[in-house]
Amino acid sequence: MTQQPAIGILMGSDSDYDVMVEAAKVLKSFDVPFEMIVSSAHRSPERTADYASTAMSRGVKALIVGAGAAAHLAGVVASETTLPIIGVPIDSSALKGLDALLATVQMPGGIPVATMAIGKAGAKNAGIFAVQLLALSDSDLAEKLVTSRQEMAQGVANKSDKLQQ
Ligand code: RP5
């Protein structure tokens, strides 16, 4: 049986996939069920509003939303739901994501979007942040997060050791 998605990953275009898949990789590594959706704030506003407004009733706990250029998608999604929204600005335009960063992060008071870094690092961190939210009520996930940090630290030490050889 397919597990109910706990996290939704939404992107404004299929051209955003190479960035947003970094969030998906993190969720997979923690065995968190998720769904990936393409919908645009501007090109398919009704589809976007419908997805965002029904996500909570389908058991989704948080949404990771990535878009580039005039990146209004995360904000529009945030206006349609009280689920936590994690925004990922994508470096898909001539302005290399600075436009998307400002469009995603500069929300008016009252409708928050937790905005990550531009591009792949932001998508990866969005995945980790989503796991951290779920871990507040899931002790197995909380333990896995601690193990993951320990492995990361060990990886840094290993790289340093290699430099000495
Ligand atoms: C945004 O415009 C999308 O999120 C994407 O980053 C950018 C370009 O989209 P395409 O023209 O490649 O579909 O809405």
* Residues making up the binding site: 13, 16, 43
pLDDT for 1 beyond 70: no
Domain that holds residue 71: 7-138
pLDDT for res 161: 94
Contact in structure between 2 and 18 (CB atoms under 8 Å): no
CB atoms within 10 A of CB 14: 9
Asked casually if ipTM beats, i.e. exceeds, 0.95, the reply is yes
The binding site for substrate comprises 13, 16, 43
Range 32-42 average pLDDT? 98
4-17 pLDDT per residue, tens: 999 999 999 999 99
96: left (phi over 0), alpha (psi -120 to 50) or beta: left
165 assigned to some structural domain: no
Task: State the CATH number of the domain containing residue 97.
Answer: 3.40.50.1970
Query: How much distance in Å is there from the Cα of 29 to the middle of ligand 1?
Result: 27
Within a domain: 153: no
Residue 54 lies in a domain: yes
Asked if residue 87 is part of any domain, the answer here is yes
18 lines ligand 1 (CB under 6 A): no
Res 3 pLDDT > 60: yes
Whether residue 72 has pLDDT greater than 70: yes
CA of 141 to the centre of ligand 1 (A): 33
Numbers of helices and strands, H then E, in the chain = 6, 5
16 in ligand 1 pocket by Cβ < 6 Å?
Answer: yes
Whole-angstrom Cα distance, residue 117 to residue 19?
12
Q: Is the model's pTM score more than 0.90? A: yes
User: How many domains would you assign to the chain?
Assistant: 1
15 three-state secondary structure: helix
